[in-house]
Chain A
Amino acid sequence: MADSRCSATRNPFTHTETPAVSVAIEDLSKSFGKLEVLKHVSFQVEPGEIFVLMGPSGSGKSVLLKHIVGLELPSGGRVTVDGRDAAAAETREQIRLALVFQAGALFNSMTVYNNLALYLREHRVADEAGIREKVMRALQILSLEAAAEKYPSELSGGMKKRVAIARALVMEPQLMLYDEPTSELDPVMAATISEIIATLKDQYHVTTIVVSHDRDLALNIADRVGILMGGQLVFLGTRDELRASADPRVVDFLNPKIDLANPRFKQLET
């Protein structure tokens, strides 16, 4: 992968270049007590690509993302970001990574503006005027200017989601992780988010991992797709391969038929 090694993350705000990073999941297992959530999962995400991870609810997608940012420690196997152990605290100092949490995880005691500004202030990225410019730019990208002085409790679910994305954007990350960025959004805003994710990748070569149930997102912007079921990867390939897949689990997951004559929950009972 010599050529993608050279690809770089161009920062949307300062237009400086930092090398894009790769992510490697090697034989990752995770258990909470007796519950085995991830079972020997392995895959690679190449620098500057969009990797979409799909899978039924409860299959362990969020848990997998948390391993990449070092919030969960593997029970077995290893996760590395650009060759560095994701569980080590130094990795977060050397590589800028941002996670858009499924529930937003906004700072409830701060306004939207301060939610975005916190990272920039704490790391002294710019002076107040520079911070203002970056924050307003990110808010504008997600059409949130009007919400700048509101508190998270005053926002709708979809707005919170967009604030969470904006907050990740201002960090100018080399690795961007989204946990269900389009759930809770109307179809147009969902499409907008897909466009933003794809644009960031095209223009700035940010390595991106998106956890999503959104078929439109996966089939339109993913470079590669992985499907996680019951803690195991049952599909790994490009989006064309995904469309062409004949695996019944994949086909049923992507196009579930609503069968009123023989509903699924009744099949379980028998």
Chain B
Amino acid sequence: MRTLTRVLEGIGSTLQLLVQSLSHVPTLPRQWGRFIEQCYLIGYTTLPIVAILSFFIGSVLALQSGYSMENFGAKQFIGSLVGLSIARELGPVMCAILLAGRVGSAIAAELASMKVYQEIDALETMNIPPARILVLPRLAAVLVMMPVLAIIANLVGWFGGAIVAKYTDFIAIDPPAYFAALRRFMEFKDVLNGLIKAEVFGFAVVLVSCNIGLNTRGGPREIGASVTRAVVTSLILILVLDYFVTKALL
């Protein structure tokens, strides 16, 4: 019962924060500097880990599918399988999970410490809404950077699959054949679906992390608790949203 009320409270305050942030959208052009800074923090710093992880996911997918499809003599379809899995599902989900770990945690830590050390209170007495200068630029930045991250995850993942497909003895498919298979069964719609998913997940991760950070109460020890809560909540949310968004987009 206590957990349920806390979950409902959390949903309520998150939506409230969203509405507040949206009401400040007209101030966005003036906050260009903050927006660029957040794009850098969200996009540029997450990029290396996204690239590394998607390369290996693509490779492993090729390896696994090569191993099992060889039995059916269907290994020429490896490219399609790797391509579709990454574009529709693994790319966006992986980007969002990395975002939760890398960016969601950092946002929660920063805002929680601002709250604990009364910086948020100071902003409020100055009549500067935290939603305007702390939340809105981050939401705008994640909307711009998430598709970029997801596209890079796709490309690197496909490429990783291609390399494994060529150099593994029992697969040995040349890149042109691999990419031809990849293109044959994939439509633009598949990639677009993946990008929409990434966008939804990324937005949710940033919004939830901001809200948890801003609602921190108590002393410095609560900062750590807020970070953990932000990451765990983000991960659960990503998986729940994944189901519903996938269903809606089918």
Q: Which of A66, A93, A122 has the most CB of B within 10 A?
A: A122
Which chain A residue shows the least CB distance to B132?
A122
Chain A nearest CB: distance from B108 CB in Å? 15
Query: A204 interface residue, CB < 8 Å from B?
Result: no
Name which of A12-20, A97-105, A225-233 contacts chain B: A97-105
Residue of B114, B117, B122, B128 with most partner-chain A CB within 10 A: B122
Interface of chain A residues 64 through 98 with chain B (CB within 8 A): 66, 69-71, 92-93, 97-98
Closest Cβ neighbor of A97 among chain B residues: B125
**B99-143, CB under 8 A of A: which get 1 and which 0?**
000000000001001100111011011111000010000000000
CB distance from B216 to the nearest CB of A (A): 15
Residues in A with CB closer than 8 Å to B119 are 105-108
Are the C-beta atoms of B118 and A103 separated by less than 8 Å? yes
B-side contacts of A171, CB under 8 Å:
126
**Cα-based distance from A119 to B114 in the complex (angstroms):** 17
Report whether over half of chain A's contact residues are helix, strand or loop; otherwise say mixed.
Answer: loop
Give the number of residues in B that approach A within 8 Å (Cβ atoms): 14
Could you tell me how many residues of chain A have their Cβ less than 8 Å away from some Cβ of chain B?
21
Residue of A nearest to B118 (CB): A105
Compute how far the CA of A123 lies from the CA of B122 in the bound complex, rounded to whole angstroms: 15
* Closest CB in chain A relative to B29 CB, distance in Å: 13
Q: What CA separation (Å) do A218 and B199 show in the bound complex?
A: 58
Contact of B125 among A98, A109, A123 (CB under 8 A): A98
A144 interface contact, C-beta 8 A: no
A118 interface residue per 8 A CB criterion? yes
Q: Which residues of A contact B (CB under 8 A)?
A: 66, 69-71, 92-93, 97-99, 101, 103, 105-109, 118-119, 122-123, 171
Binding site for A on B (CB under 8 A): 110, 113-114, 117-119, 121-122, 124-128, 133
